[in-house]
Amino acid sequence: MERATAATITLTVNGVAHSLDIDHRTTLLDALRERLDLTGTKKGCDHGQCGACTVLVEGRRADSCLLLAVAVAGKAVTTIEGIGGAAAGEALHPVQQAFLDHDGYQCGYCTPGQICSAVAVLDEHAAGWPSAVTGDVGAEEIVLDEPEIRERMSGNLCRCGAYVSIVAAVADAAGAQS
């Protein structure tokens, strides 16, 4: 379907290619939830301020409410449904297990975005990327301590205030991946 305001695109989500006839104005969040029935990614503020809609695009975190679906056509998108293998009867991702172990959730609404963000935090840290609070950006190894985790997760809000448990979960997952 080619019109001035619509196109047929291919979205690769959680390793599966989906061909969609889509309006150019459709956000990635709306395409995931309304067209692909992947409702784990949550719509919170719809302004990119809360992080409830965080997904991974080519391994990097992104607020799916701010991305147009046509902008990520041909790129690998990972949602909470694509992290870990619980749906297939496999083990949980270390971040998912740590959130369970540390009660890193309360109402659970922000949890999918928190987990996607935490997975990216661990990858960024492993790659040696500094954050705004990294003391010595030239250090051979950046310590993923509480201030580092809090800064790196600061784009994800939790109305319930489960931050202490979330930080503990990310720290635990970081240790599990080491």
pLDDT of residue 85: 73
Question: Are 115 and 99 spatial neighbours (Cβ–Cβ below 8 Å)?
Answer: yes
pLDDT of residue 75: 98
Secondary element (H or E) of residue 11: strand 6-13
pLDDT of residue 90: 81
Residues 127 and 71 placed together within one structural domain of the fold: no
Residues 123 and 172 placed together within one structural domain of the fold: yes
CB under 8 Å to 137, separation ≥6 — which residues?
130
pLDDT of residue 96: 95
Secondary element (H or E) of residue 173: helix 163-177
User: How many Cβ atoms sit within 10 Å of the Cβ of residue 158?
Assistant: 22
pTM of the model: 0.93
Question: Hey, which bits of 24-139 come out as E strands?
Answer: 54-57, 60-63, 76-78
Residues 74 and 96 placed together within one structural domain of the fold: no
User: How many Cβ atoms sit within 10 Å of the Cβ of residue 80?
Assistant: 24
Handedness of CA 58, 60, 64, 68 (dihedral sign): negative
Residues 104 and 52 placed together within one structural domain of the fold: no
pLDDT range class, residue 1, cuts 50, 70, 90: low
pLDDT in tens, 23-63: 999 999 999 999 999 999 999 999 999 999 999 999 999 99
Residues 109 and 62 placed together within one structural domain of the fold: no
Task: Please say if the pLDDT value at position 126 is more than 90.
Answer: yes
Residues 53 and 92 placed together within one structural domain of the fold: no
The residue out of 54, 82, 110 marking a domain boundary is 82
Residues 168 and 154 placed together within one structural domain of the fold: yes
pLDDT of residue 88: 64
CB under 8 Å to 79, separation ≥6 — which residues?
13, 14, 32, 38, 40, 41, 55, 56, 112, 116
Residue 1 lies inside a defined structural domain of this protein: no
Give CA–CA dist 136/134, Å, rounded: 6
pLDDT of residue 2: 57
As given in the structure block, the two tokens for residue 36 are 């692909």
In which domain, by residue range, is 50 found?
6-82
Task: Please say if the pLDDT value at position 176 is more than 90.
Answer: no
